[in-house]
Amino acid sequence: MQTAHNRVLMIYPAFNANSFWNYKATCALAGARHPAAPLGLITVAALLPTTWEVRLVDLNTEELGPGDLDWADLVMTGGMLPQQDGALAVIEMCRSRGKLVVVGGPDATSTPDIYAAADFQVLGEAEEIMADFVAAWTGGATSGVFRAEMGKTDVTRSPTPRFDLLTFKNYLHVGVQFSRGCPFNCEFCDIIELYGRVPRTKTNAQVMAELDALHALGYRGHVDFVDDNLIGNKKALRQFLPALTDWMKEKNSPFEFSTEASINLADDPALMQAMSEANFFTIFVGIESPDADTLISTQKKQNTRRSLAESVHKIYQAGLFVNAGFILGFDSEKGSVARGMIDCIEDTAIPICMVGLLYALPNTQLTRRLDREGRLTLPDDADRSQGLGDQCTAGLNFVTSRPRRAILSDYKTVLEAVYAPSAFFGRVRRVGRMLDCTHRRLELPRSMEWQELKSSWRLFWQMTVAKGGVRREFWKTVLDCLVHNRQALPYVLMMMALYLHLGPFSRHVIAQLKRQIDNLGDVQPAAFPVRLDRPKAAAVAM
């Protein structure tokens, strides 16, 4: 029934299980069930009328209760490409139960045809169009499509997300957002298509209000700035960081922060210092390839004209450790790229590397070029079963320039090298020596300190008893850190904890690659010019 007091059930779809980011084993150490909380849906919830009742069910952490659907007047769902199968299942369930369902998010925005079964589609950034949807719904509409022009939303109008809908203990970290968009022009990236090349920033007061809300609800610990590139608007960031630092001092350092940034952060010592003083401890960087020709051809020129190793080491010395993405399968690869990528990962000493295969995403320059060349191929059921949307388990959805067998073999070689225990833990030890933790401070309640202690004991048990094969490397790394830089130990333990997922995951992908290579013939597949219907998702809101 459509009244002034509607009941909305928000359902966050399950991610596919075969994902680099689905580190359940690491979550278990902290007593969590999933890495990240659904920032998009709780932002949408904040845009709904205050008279509406809202419930959230995250299918990554819990199951639908028997009365959840019966309670709801309306269901809202949506997310990213790795959630596509889960979102479609939610829509089908709602349809079978006679519940009207709204879908949104980056995946639906990129390929709305896939979500045609939903009653309503909210496509684009939700701040622009939720009022129109609400008006239509309260006016009696039972279907409709609502679109916003991408990259134009005034994010200073974005509300404080409904953090009160979250069960904090279920997550390793909670997200906030300062900016949307990225100034660069990488050919394979859909961020610039969805959110634009002019980064839009919230006001300092907005972000502090969000942190105040989290703090008032009792949340402490890891907060992730989900920005596409936090340093995309350096001027705004320089004005924001001192305010964040002051807020942290006033609140006695309740949070520590992570984010995503481009490698040119290393060129700005003052900015790195400001991030460290504000209690940022890690960043994700897209390195993609150590080959300058490849970086130029894919328009990632900000990674050229620099020593990647020196740049990453500068970031370490500023107190931030680096996680990075690498990609194989670019047209510019002329021969084996495995050795160069392995050397780059070792030289930079980056332990946590998302090494994957190039995937042509919809609404990108890459996809449009490949479409013109007649090289796109549709995914089959095997792509879905191996992990739709995850570049580590699915990719190369086009006819490759280099023989596919050679690319897969290179990929297998890289994974075998960089996730061998001696290599991984060796990189962790080197980071542990370089990482300047002078500004690190995190004050946790006594109950959380006890939980941290239990998590450490679980890690020690896993590394020395349950996973005895890495016992020697684990203790060697702990002792090295205690001797050379004991302040870095919490972050060294954090990196090693991720190996509980990354070690088994890399072995799973290697076994999958062996099967794929064995099943390949010696002839490249013929070009199959069809429209690509499987996107990767980007980020935020509905």
pLDDT digits (tens, 9 = 90+) for 429-456: 999 999 999 989 988 888 888 888 899 9
What's the token pair of residue 338? 């495995």
Burial-class residue 469 by CB neighbours within 10 Å (0-12, 13-18, 19+). Answer: exposed
**Rounded to an integer, what distance in angstroms lies between the CA atom of residue 261 and that of residue 277?**
17
- pLDDT at 541 (0 to 100): 37
Rounded to 5°, the CA angle 150-154-160 comes to 110
- pLDDT at 3 (0 to 100): 66
* pLDDT at residue 102 greater than cutoff 90: yes
123: enclosing H helix or E strand: strand 120-123
The string of pLDDT tens digits covering residues 299-308 is 888 888 789 9
For residue 191, count other CB atoms closer than 10 A to its CB: 24
- pLDDT at 527 (0 to 100): 37
- pLDDT at 447 (0 to 100): 80
| CA dihedral angle for residue 428, residue 431, residue 437, residue 441, rounded to 10 degrees | -30
Handedness of CA 27, 32, 37, 41 (dihedral sign): positive
- Mean of the per-residue pLDDT values for the chain? 91
More confident residue, 146 or 18: 146
What secondary structure does DSSP assign to 294-349, as a single string? HHHHTT-GGGSSS-HHHHHHHHHHTT-EEEEEEEE--TT--S--HHHHHHHHHHHT
**Rounded to an integer, what distance in angstroms lies between the CA atom of residue 191 and that of residue 255?**
27
* pLDDT at residue 534 greater than cutoff 70: no
Radius of gyration of the chain (CA): 23
| CA dihedral angle for residue 304, residue 354, residue 348, residue 463, rounded to 10 degrees | 170
Average pLDDT over residues 60-85: 94
Average pLDDT over residues 473-500: 97
- pLDDT at 526 (0 to 100): 42
The string of pLDDT tens digits covering residues 116-155 is 999 999 999 999 899 999 999 999 999 999 999 888 899 9
More confident residue, 4 or 80: 80
- pLDDT at 17 (0 to 100): 82
Q: Report yes or no: 240 and 278 within 8 Å, Cβ to Cβ.
A: no
Residue 98: left (phi > 0), alpha (psi -120 to 50), or beta? left
The string of pLDDT tens digits covering residues 25-59 is 999 999 999 999 999 999 999 999 999 999 999 99
* pLDDT at residue 285 greater than cutoff 90: yes
Average pLDDT over residues 109-117: 95
Average pLDDT over residues 146-173: 94
- pLDDT at 363 (0 to 100): 82
More confident residue, 4 or 288: 288
* pLDDT at residue 467 greater than cutoff 80: no
Closest alpha carbon to 431 in 222, 209, 281, 268: 281
User: Worst-scoring range by mean pLDDT, 189-203, 264-278, 398-412?
Assistant: 189-203
What's the token pair of residue 485? 């830089």
Q: Report yes or no: 351 and 431 within 8 Å, Cβ to Cβ.
A: yes
Residue 539, φ and ψ in degrees, nearest 5:
-150, -125
- pLDDT at 2 (0 to 100): 67
Verdict on whether the full-model pTM lies above 0.85: yes
Burial-class residue 468 by CB neighbours within 10 Å (0-12, 13-18, 19+). Answer: exposed
* pLDDT at residue 194 greater than cutoff 80: yes
The string of pLDDT tens digits covering residues 209-225 is 999 999 999 999 999 99
Average pLDDT over residues 239-249: 98
The string of pLDDT tens digits covering residues 308-363 is 999 999 999 999 999 999 999 999 998 899 999 999 999 999 999 999 999 998 88
Percent of the chain at pLDDT exceeding 90: 78
pLDDT band at 386 (very low <50, low <70, confident <90, very high): low
